[in-house]
Each structure stands twice: as structure tokens, then as C-alpha cells.
């Protein structure tokens, strides 16, 4: 081969066509790229969301929300023996809060509020947790003596954001409430 032929061959091996035809070397390997996760099916159900607040009593619980737009009276407003609201004009009259996460604006009435909620703990009818908007000595002491995880001062009004039947994960230790709307849970179950 003449020097001119060798130069022509070397030039040809540097052309894009020659590069494209060669087998990839190990040094050409790219790092693994994880494909994006498939999009969740659009069910039309509201998506879960998170609220942040201030711990009153620590602990973590999960359960169904029971929301009251009205403040709750302790003394004369609840029956500790049954864990029900007994105030006749209250929107939750006759509704049992036992085993639910009670979401309400705050406490009203006498200082006996905390004593009545403490009685629910002693009788096994206490709510699972508490989330309230306005902190007063009644509501704070009530949460403490009931010994259930409790949050207040959330970044959104919990009474407006959460609905009865929503599923909550209340992590009072970290000041987080994860809300799974009831419709989202039903859509998930339906598949």
C-alpha cells in the first residue's frame, strides 16, 4: 500500500459512517437511566395531601377523620361512657368519636373539658387523635390528659381541608398529617 493509500484509509476510518458502523466499546457505555414511573391512572379522585402543624401531644396514629365545624363542649357536651357528642344543637349530636381522629376548631365551655375527655380515656371511648385549629388551655390540657397524638396551628385550616371519612396518618412527633381523601381510597379499592 502506498503512503497515499494509507492516508486515504485512515481518513475514511474517521468519517461518521465508519464510526457508526463499529461495535460499541465498553468505555462507550452510558450510566443506567431509570425510565420514568408510569403515570397514575386518572380516576378523578382528589390526590392525597399533607398538612404541617405544631405538636401538642406526640405519637403516631392512623384512622378515619371525624370533622366538626363547631367547637366541642366537654362538660355537658359529650358522654364519656359512650364517646358520643350529646349537645343537642351540635352538628355531631349522637355521633361517636371513639377510635376516630377528631378534627375540630377547638374547645368551648367550662374548664371541665379536659376532665371529660380524660374520662373517655379511662373508659376506653377516647378519640384516636385530635387535630384542632385554636389552642386553648382546655383543648391542650384535654389532649394531654386523653394521651392521644394531637396537633394544632396547621398551615391550612384542617376543618376546611379535611372531610369526615378521609383517612389520616397523624404523625404528631414530626407535625405532619397525611390526608387521603375518602374518594381517593374508594377509587384505589375499585382498582
Q: Give the global pTM.
A: 0.75
Query: What's the pLDDT score for residue 184?
Result: 87
Q: How far, in Å, CA of 128 to CA of 60, rounded? A: 10
Query: What's the pLDDT score for residue 6?
Result: 52
User: Running along the chain, 191 residues long, what does each successive block of 10 average in pLDDT?
Assistant: 48 41 42 43 80 97 98 92 96 97 93 91 97 92 95 97 97 97 87 75
Residues that are catalytic:
110
Classify strands 49-52 and 129-132 as parallel, antiparallel or unpaired.
Answer: unpaired
Amino acid at each position: 500500500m502506498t503512503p497515499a493509500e494509507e492516508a486515504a484509509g485512515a481518513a475514511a476510518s474517521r468519517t461518521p459512517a465508519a464510526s457508526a458502523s463499529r461495535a460499541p466499546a465498553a468505555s462507550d457505555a452510558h450510566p443506567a437511566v431509570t425510565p420514568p414511573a408510569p403515570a397514575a391512572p386518572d380516576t378523578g379522585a382528589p390526590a392525597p395531601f399533607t398538612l404541617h402543624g405544631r405538636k401538642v401531644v406526640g405519637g403516631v396514629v392512623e384512622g378515619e377523620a371525624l370533622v366538626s365545624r363547631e367547637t366541642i363542649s366537654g362538660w355537658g357536651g359529650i358522654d364519656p361512657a359512650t364517646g358520643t357528642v350529646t349537645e343537642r344543637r351540635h352538628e355531631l349530636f349522637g355521633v361517636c368519636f371513639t377510635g376516630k381522629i377528631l378534627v375540630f376548631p377547638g374547645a368551648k365551655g367550662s374548664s371541665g373539658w379536659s376532665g371529660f375527655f380524660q374520662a373517655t380515656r379511662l373508659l376506653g371511648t377516647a378519640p384516636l387523635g385530635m387535630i384542632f385549629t385554636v389552642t386553648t388551655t382546655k383543648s391542650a390540657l384535654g389532649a394531654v390528659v386523653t394521651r392521644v397524638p394531637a396537633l394544632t396551628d396547621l398551615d391550612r385550616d384542617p376543618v376546611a381541608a379535611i372531610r369526615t371519612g378521609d383517612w389520616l396518618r397523624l404523625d404528631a412527633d414530626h407535625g405532619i398529617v397525611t390526608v387521603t381523601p375518602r374518594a381517593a381510597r374508594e377509587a384505589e379499592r375499585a382498582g
